[in-house]
Structure 1
Amino acid sequence: MYKRLGTPLVLGMLLAACSGQTASDQNTASPAGETAGPATWSDRTKSQLRQAIDARAAHGLDQMAFNVSASDDNALNEQALRFAGALARGASDPTKLYEVYTVPRPSPDLKAGLANALRAGDLTKWLDSLAPQDGNYKRLSAAYLKLKRQPQAPEGQIADSGEAIKPGASDPRIPAIVRELVILDYLTPDAAQGNGYAPAIVEAVRRMQADYGMKPDGIIGDEALAILNMSDADRMRAIAVAMERLRWLERTPPATRIDVNIAAARLTYWRDGKIVDTRRVVVGEPDTETPQLGSPIFRLVANPTWTVPRSIQKKELAQKGAAYLRANNMEWKDGWIVQQPGPKNSLGLVKFDMQNDHAIYLHDTPAKALFAMVQRQRSHGCVRVEDALGFAEMLAKDEGVVDEWHRARETGKETFVKLPREIPVRLLYQTVLFDKDGEPIVRNDPYGWDDRVGSALGFKAGKALRVQTGAADVGP
Structure 2
Amino acid sequence: MEPPASAIMVPVSGEELRGAARDEAVRSFYEAAGWRACWSAAAERELLETLDRRARHGLDRIDFGARPSSSDSALERELKLTRLALAYASALAYGAVDPSSLHEIYTLPRPAEDVPGELAQAMAEGRAGLWFASLAPDTEEYRHFSTAYLDYSAKAREEARDQLPDGGVIHVGDHDSRIVAIAAQLADNGYLTSEDRLVTERATTGGRAIYTASMKSAVERLQGDYGIAADGVIGPDTFSVLNLRAPDRARALAVAMERRRWMPRSKPATRIDVNIAAARLQYIRDDVVVDERRVVAGRPDRPTPLLSSPIFRLVANPTWTVPKSIQNTELAQVDAAYLQRNNMVLRAGWIVQGAGPGNALGQVKFDMRNGQAIYLHDTSAPALFDRSERHLSHGCVRVEDALGFAQMLASDEGILEQWLTAREVGQEQFVALPREIPVRLLYRSVLVRPSGDIAFRADPYGWSEAVARHLGFTGNGRKSQPAAIDLGP
Q: TM-score, normalised by structure 1?
A: 0.84
**Displacement, 1:367?**
0.6
- Please say if 1:286 is aligned against 2:300: yes
Kept in 1, the 8 Å contact 2:361–2:378? The answer is yes
Does the CA contact (< 8 Å) of 1:354 and 1:361 recur in 2? yes
Check if 1:86 corresponds to 2:91.
yes
Supply the distance in 2 between the matched residues of 1:163 and 1:363 (Cα, whole angstroms).
Answer: 41
Structure 1 position 270 matched with structure 2 position 284:
yes
Corresponding letter in the other structure for 1:284: G
Amino acid in the other structure paired with 1:64:
I
1:337 aligned to 326, 339, 351, which one? 351
Residues 417-441 of structure 1 deviation map (CA, whole Å, 9 limit, x = unaligned)? 1111111111000110123431212
- SS for the counterpart of 2:314 is strand
Q: Does the alignment pair 1:310 with 2:348?
A: no
Structure with the bigger RCO (C-alpha within 8 Å, sep 6+) is: 1
Match of 1:50 among 44, 48, 51: 48
The one-character-per-residue Cα deviations of 1:79-129 (angstroms, maximum 9, x if unpaired) are 211111000000000000111111111011111111111101221101011
Query: For the Cα contact (< 8 Å) 1:328–1:339, is it kept in 2?
Result: yes
Question: Which SS does the other structure have where 2:447 is aligned?
Answer: strand
Shift of 1:213: 9.5
2-side partners of 1:255 and 1:132: how far apart? 17
- Deviation larger for 222-231 or 289-298: 222-231
Distance 2:120 2:141 in 1: 30
Q: Within 5 Å, which residues of 2 pair with 1:148-187? A: 148-150=153-155, 151-154=157-160, 159-160=164-165, 165=170, 168-174=173-179, 177=182
Matched residues in 2 for 1:304 and 1:189: separation?
51
Distance 1:399 1:154 in 2: 56
Equivalent residue of 1:275, what SS?
Answer: strand
8 Å Cα contact 1:102-1:292 kept in structure 2: yes
CA contact (8 A) 1:36 1:119 kept: no
Specify whether residues 320 and 402 from structure 1 end up closer, same or farther in structure 2 by C-alpha distance, changes over 3 A only: same
Judged with a 3 Å threshold, the aligned counterparts in structure 2 of structure 1 residues 199 and 138 are, in CA distance, closer, same or farther, namely: closer
Check conservation: 2:95, 2:261, Cα contact below 8 A.
yes
Shift of 1:198: 6.0
CA gap 1:443/1:212 in 2 versus in 1, 3 angstroms: closer
CA change 1:288–1:49 in 2 (3 A) is: same
Question: How far, CA to CA, are the matches of 1:155 and 1:41 in structure 2?
Answer: 47
Counterpart check, 1:468 vs 2:481: yes
Superimposed CA distance per residue, residues 24-80 of structure 1 (whole angstroms, 9 cap, x where no aligned partner): xxxxxxxxxxx9995722212111111111111010001100236235323322221
Counterpart code for 1:152: E
Deviations 1:118-176 (A, max 9, x none): 101221101011100001101111111112233432466x6328665466421253366
Seen in structure 2, the aligned counterparts of structure 1 residues 182 and 276 have a Cα distance that, compared at 3 Å, is farther
- How far residue 322 of structure 1 moved from its aligned partner, in angstroms, is 1.8
Runs of 5+ in structure 1 lacking a partner? 1-34
CA distance in 2, matches of 1:434, 1:470: 29
Q: Deviations over 1:354-376 (max 9, x none)?
A: 01111100000011111011111
Aligned residue in 2 for 1:20: none
Match of 2:262 in 1: 248
For the residues of structure 1 that align with 2:418 and 2:406, how far apart are their CA atoms? 12
- Give the superposition deviation at 1:188: 13
Q: Residues 183 and 144 of structure 1: is their aligned pair in 2 closer, same or farther, counting only changes over 3 Å? A: closer
1:433 pairs, out of 436, 447, 460, with 447
Structure 1 counterpart of 2:78: 73
Larger radius of gyration: 2
